Amino acid sequence: MYQFKLPDPGEGLVEAEITQWLVSAGDEVRINDILVEIETAKSLVELPSPVSGRVHKLLAVEGQTVEVGTPIIEIDDGSATANSEEEPKHLVGAGPAPEPTSRRRPVAPPADRSATTAAQPVSTAAQPVITVEQPATTAVGKVLAKPLVRRLARDLGVALQSIRPTGPGGTVSKSDVEAAAGLGRVAESVNRVAIKGVRKATATNVSESIAKHVHVTEFNTIDISESKRLVEVLKARREFAGLHVSPLLIHAKA
């Protein structure tokens, strides 16, 4: 059985992502047949088969990131018998010695169940669970909510009196307002896609550049009054008729 390991893509890369398998278990492959497409941090690469045979098992799934040297596929090339013969033979007397029976750890005595059983009702009786529903409003009918929550409800057009509070002390929380406005259902419909391959490497390098390097913008003020005056003089001359004369033309001529 031949195990095909992820080869070194070079350029200092140590891992790659399995993008798409082009074979499956049971397929017949020949040498140089494309087995899989992998994506590194710099490019998309096709890996050919180094042997001929039948695909036995795929050892990695699509979307999985695999390190260099990790087996990704098994191909039955008829070398199973040869591989088994090449396995190192064990010498007589070699191998792990049987564990002596005298080295046994003492078994702890079982705990007294009667004491535990007797203590159980006392603990339950001493700590009764009481559920108290907090009121949504105060005695005068005012809704309990923080200023930021009130502003959010006003912006979303939600009446605080119509919201059932779930915050501490019967207060209306931010999540209560968002749920009443239907924002929770919108958030659940968002499809998140992982950044992979070249885009992942680009995002990592850009973030690192912003965090570690100083970004400076330089502004210079230049007096081009004389250049503008010369432009007006050149525009009045006959040989420059029909041409767009600008300071760039003067600097290019200089």
Domain boundaries, the chain: 2-85, 147-188, 221-254
Query: What's the pLDDT at 6?
Result: 92
Answer yes or no: are the C-beta atoms of 49 and 31 closer than 8 Å.
yes
Tell me the pLDDT tens digit for each residue of 186-210: 445 667 777 777 888 888 888 888 8
Among 2.60.40.10, 2.60.120.10, 2.40.50.100, 3.30.70.1350, what is the CATH number of 2-85?
2.40.50.100
What's the CATH number for 147-188? 4.10.320.10
Judge residue 133's burial from the number of C-beta atoms within 10 Å of its C-beta, 0-12 exposed, 13-18 middle, 19 or more buried.
Answer: exposed
Measured CA angle at 183 (ends 180, 184), to 5 deg:
90
pLDDT in tens, 144-155: 888 788 888 888
Query: Are residues 55 and 3 in contact, defined by beta-carbon separation less than 8 angstroms?
Result: no
pLDDT of residue 118: 45
Question: Can you tell me the distance from the alpha carbon of 79 to that of 85, in angstroms, rounded to the nearest whole number?
Answer: 10
AA identity, residue 211: A
From CA 170, how far away is CA 180, in angstroms rounded?
Answer: 16
Q: 141: which 2 tokens?
A: 């009918």
- Does 147-188 match 2-85 at the fold level? no
Closest residue by Cα to residue 160 from 168, 169, 147: 147
Q: What is the pTM of this model?
A: 0.40
pLDDT value of position 178: 86
Single-letter residue type at 128:
P
Q: Which of 99, 13, 1, 108 is nearest to 54 (CA)?
A: 1
